[in-house]
């Protein structure tokens, strides 16, 4: 399963001493962020829009800018790119008025992510570079690393694998320094994909295993299942179909527990291929049918 991990950011809230309406709005904002983190993007948008009304009335520009940024991320997640960009630009205008360099940098990065998701790599790179330059001036290592990771994906898509490896490796050093295990796991995954393209399968396996260990430690079942599928696919490439089957079966089990449709589909594909190569044709046919059914169902969602 070729799954890259792009990184976008919420803006940080630094407010104290709210009046009662602002306290209520801040609670709504936090509730919206909780909904977002659980993947309930539509309801998160409803809550964020409530906050926009309150923060406009109170002329609280910092929280208004933060809320617009959050709306941008939520709209991006449901594929509404125009609405996402409009909210990011609204957030950006406020951050510029406030001379808030780090918020500007974060929003530039989020706009870059939006363009990258649309495969508009030139615009994406433009915003990542602007974000990175500000973050470097402010010595914000986390934003710098996020930009490097995301730029690495662009170079990977353009088949400039050495540049992608260079950027991923730089990001990884920063994440290790910060102790950010979630992001370390994501970069290991991205490194493994490049090594797989380069047919350096030992390095691909090494990096997928590193990602796998961290996702297991963090209790991140999606990442665990995705990395099991990815690793299973590499073992298939080197002809170890028993190991591939073992990993894809584990991925299928874990993905079903969290209803991760894409991973379920990819794991069925891997299982079918492995059974076919092991000459277990009834099982190969069974899982190929399951793969086709799940894929059709997913496309029609």
- Sequence-ordered alpha helix ranges (H) in the chain: 20-37, 41-58, 61-77, 81-97, 101-117, 121-137, 141-157, 161-178, 181-197, 201-218, 221-237, 241-258, 261-277, 281-299
Interval 192-244: pLDDT, tens: 999 999 999 999 999 999 999 999 999 999 999 999 999 999 999 999 999 99
Contact in structure between 95 and 65 (CB atoms under 8 Å): yes
Task: Give the model's confidence band at 10: pLDDT under 50 very low, under 70 low, under 90 confident, else very high.
Answer: low
In contact, 71 and 35? CB cutoff 8 Å: no
- Report, as an integer, the average pLDDT of 130-145: 97
CA proximity to 101, closest of 72, 136, 127, 76: 136
75-133 tens-digit pLDDT: 999 999 999 999 999 999 999 999 999 999 999 999 999 999 999 999 999 999 999 99
Separation of alpha carbons 233 and 243, rounded Å: 10
CA distance 252 to 245: 10
pLDDT of residue 39: 83
Among 10-19, 98-107, 182-191, 215-224, name the one with the lowest average pLDDT: 10-19
Domain ranges for the chain, please list them: 221-301
- Report the Cα–Cα distance between both ends of the chain, in Å, rounded: 20
User: What is the model's pLDDT at position 84?
Assistant: 97
CB atoms within 10 A of CB 219: 8
Cα distance between residue 13 and residue 63, in whole Å: 7
Residue closest to 51 by CA, chosen among 71, 33, 67: 67
Q: How confident is the model at residue 8 (pLDDT cuts 50, 70, 90)?
A: low
- Digit-coded pLDDT (tens) for 266-283: 999 999 999 999 999 999
* Measured distance CA(298)–CA(301) in Å, rounded: 5
110 token code pair: 């989020």
Cα atoms in the Cβ-side hemisphere of radius 13 Å centred on 17: 0
Stretch 166-177: mean pLDDT: 98
- Fold classified for 221-301: 1.25.40
Instruction: Assign 23 a pLDDT band (cuts: 50, 70, 90).
Output: low
- What gap in Å lies between CA 115 and CA 81, rounded to an integer? 9
Query: What backbone torsions phi and psi does residue 148 show, to the nearest 5 degrees?
Result: -65, -40
Half-sphere exposure (Cβ direction) of 104: Cα atoms closer than 13 Å: 18
What rounded mean pLDDT belongs to the chain? 92
301 — pLDDT class (breaks 50, 70, 90): low
Distance (Å, whole) CA 94 – CA 103: 9
CB 98 within 8 A of CB 90: no
Sequence-separated (6 or more) residues with CB below 8 Å from residue 166 = 152
What DSSP designation does 17 have? S
The residue to which tokens 């800018």 are assigned: 65
């Amino acid at each position: 399963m070729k799954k890259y991990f792009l990184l976008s950011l919420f803006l940080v809230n630094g407010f104290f001493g709210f009046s009662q309406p602002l306290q209520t709005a801040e609670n709504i904002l936090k509730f919206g962020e909780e909904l977002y983190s659980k993947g309930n993007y539509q309801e998160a948008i409803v809550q964020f829009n409530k906050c926009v009304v309150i923060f406009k009335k109170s002329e609280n520009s910092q929280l208004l800018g933060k809320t617009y940024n959050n709306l941008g991320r939520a709209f991006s997640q449901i594929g509404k790119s125009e609405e996402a960009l409009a909210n990011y630009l609204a957030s950006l205008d406020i951050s510029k008025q406030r001379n808030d360099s780090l918020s500007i940098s974060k929003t530039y990065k989020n706009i870059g992510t939006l363009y990258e998701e649309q495969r508009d790599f030139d615009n994406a790179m433009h915003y990542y570079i602007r974000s990175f330059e500000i973050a470097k001036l402010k010595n914000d290592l986390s934003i710098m690393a996020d930009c490097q990771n995301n730029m690495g994906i662009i170079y990977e898509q353009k088949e400039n694998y050495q540049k992608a490896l260079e950027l991923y490796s730089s990001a990884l050093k920063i994440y290790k320094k910060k102790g950010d295990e979630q992001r370390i796991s994501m970069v290991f995954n991205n490194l493994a994909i490049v090594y797989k393209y380069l047919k350096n399968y030992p390095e691909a396996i090494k990096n997928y295993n590193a990602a796998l260990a961290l996702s297991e430690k963090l209790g991140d079942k999606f990442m665990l299942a995705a990395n099991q599928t990815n690793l299973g696919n590499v073992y298939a490439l080197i002809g170890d179909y028993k190991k591939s089957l073992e990993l894809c079966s584990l991925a299928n089990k874990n993905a079903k527990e969290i209803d991760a449709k894409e991973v379920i589909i990819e794991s069925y594909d891997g299982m079918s291929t492995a059974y076919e190569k092991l000459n277990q044709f009834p099982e190969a046919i069974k899982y190929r049918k399951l793969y086709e059914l799940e894929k059709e169902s997913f496309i029609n969602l």
